Chains A and B, each alone.
Chain A
Amino acid sequence: MLSCHQATRLASDAQERPLTFKEKVSLKIHTMMCSGCRNFESSMNTLRKAMQGFASGDHKDITNNNTKKTMKKHE
């Protein structure tokens, strides 16, 4: 049984590399029983999306109207 520390490490590593079958299964079993790690795992996706939004600079246009040309959404 993984600890939460180990489970969050796997959830983070999953953003970096394909997990092995064994890792995937252990993480799955852990998150089925642990809401904290389940929420952490799903926040990884939110974090990545937020970073993309932040990097694209779209969010700044809500207040800074001097960069209208980037108003279009990157989709």
Chain B
Amino acid sequence: MTGSTSQAKDKQLDGASQLNDTNYLETLRQQMLKFANLQISDTHLAEDAVQEALIGAMKKADSFGGRSAFKTWVFAILKNKIADVLRKRQRLAEVSELMRSDEDDEALSSLFDKKGHWNPEDRPNRWGDPEDSFKQQQFWVVFETCLNNLPGNQAKVFMMREYIGLDTDEICKEEDLSVSNLHVILHRARLKLQKCLEIKWYDGGKHA
């Protein structure tokens, strides 16, 4: 934890400023409530889930420089909280819809044929110059959409790893996963992101 203290300070300021902006937080809370109510259809339980998700998300708030990143993170946690509530109420069909775990396996195995080789239409193409894409605002809109499309558990773990930069041990401990479970989840998340970006951005011709 030595090194560029000024950068660390900037990061902290960014994180803190998100939490100090009451209007922003209230808007975010309303969006979360709306989402939770749709999934749980019990106002009281929905409020609890939102509250818990917000508290959980705050713990790592300093790691987030940007609001859209923070929002994606908060919603990933919220999806997991909602899944817990639904599980307790034995609403298993809805859990699998929210986490899209079964469906997800299907979607992934459909990328590959029986022997595990790419189906022709799913074979990844060469992406254009990434640095060039990053300069375009539309790219980030697409990127955010693709992240938000990930199932809750994949989104959460992927963000812990890639945004917050937690190491394997920390994530496994916090999420109660084995190392190989973690690697499976990250692999799935990356396959989905790769596919989503390719369809929505690189093949879409929006960058041309």
Residues of A within 8 A of B (CB): 3-6, 8-9, 12-13, 15-17, 34-37, 39-40, 42-60, 62-63, 70, 74
Residues of B within 8 A of A (CB): 7, 10, 14, 63-69, 112, 115-118, 123-127, 130, 133-134, 137, 139-140, 143-144, 147, 161-163, 168, 182-183, 186-187, 190-191, 193-194, 197-198
Contact partners of A53 in chain B: CB under 8 A: 134, 140
**A73–B172 Cα gap in the complex (Å)?**
32
> Helix, strand, loop or mixed for chain B's interface?
helix
Partner of A3, one of B117, B133, B134, B197: B117
Q: Name the CB-closest residue of A to B108.
A: A5
Q: Name the CB-closest residue of B to A39.
A: B124
Contact partners of B144 in chain A: CB under 8 A: 54
B168 to chain A, nearest CB (A): 6
**In contact, B183 and A12 (Cβ under 8 angstroms):** yes
A-B contact count (CB 8 A): 118
**In contact, A70 and B124 (Cβ under 8 angstroms):** no
Report if A44-B190 is in contact (Cβ < 8 Å); known contacts: A36-B123, A70-B65.
Answer: yes
Report if A4-B66 is in contact (Cβ < 8 Å); known contacts: A47-B194, A57-B14.
Answer: no
Partner of B125, one of A39, A44, A50, A51: A39
Contact partners of A70 in chain B: CB under 8 A: 10, 14, 65-66
**A42–B190 Cα gap in the complex (Å)?**
12
Contact partners of A16 in chain B: CB under 8 A: 161, 168, 182-183, 186
Report if A12-B187 is in contact (Cβ < 8 Å); known contacts: A49-B130, A50-B134, A51-B163.
Answer: yes
Partner of B65, one of A9, A40, A51, A56: A56
**In contact, B117 and A54 (Cβ under 8 angstroms):** no
A41 to chain B, nearest CB (A): 9
**A39–B133 Cα gap in the complex (Å)?**
16
